[in-house]
Amino acid sequence: MAITGTFVAGEEQNFNDVKVEIDQTPAASSFIDITSWVSNIQVTHGAVPTTQFNTYTVPINYIGEQDASTVVLTIVYTEDALTDPWREIIDDFNASPGLLYDVQWEPAGAGIGNYIYTTSGGRMTNVTYPTQPAGDGAPVTFDVTIVCSTITVSTQAV
């Protein structure tokens, strides 16, 4: 496969229409839309560890198995309802650290042909508590970390 064609202005994507969902019960595949609370998605896709062994004439590179991927969601902290993300997520995490959790996001939003990125085998490994420096006027946030074995890319059918 080769990259072909040229970039055409206007084809670039932004996160203005993004859709973000979490699945608190991955076995049921019941994603819940949390787009209105999420302010950032940071993904570290599984790197491949390498080791270099040097002989007197050449270096030899060994390749390991691909690491897990990590998705960190930054979410606005609210106290309005017990069903807001903060309360739901921290209660889930405290009851069962490492709980199965998946996340999916659509950078261009819901629409036929748009890409959907979905984690598989996700585990919630960290939830930060809300904190903020004094004098900072930004909304208070917290982070949720999901570590997963794979991230698949599919397209929106409907």
pLDDT in tens, 74-130: 999 998 877 889 999 999 999 999 999 999 999 988 888 889 999 999 999 999 999
Residue 13 located in a structural domain: no
Residue 14 located in a structural domain: no
Mean pLDDT throughout 5-14? 77
- Can you give the CATH number for the domain in which 68 is found? 2.30.110
Residue 2 located in a structural domain: no
Distance CA 26, CA 4 (A): 37
Residue 5 located in a structural domain: no
Residue 1 located in a structural domain: no
Within a 10 A sphere around the Cβ of 60, how many other Cβ atoms? 9
Alpha helices in the chain, H assignment, sequence order: 85-95
The per-residue pLDDT for 47 is 86
Mean pLDDT throughout 36-45? 93
Which range of residues forms the domain containing residue 46?
19-155
Q: How many domains does the chain have?
A: 1
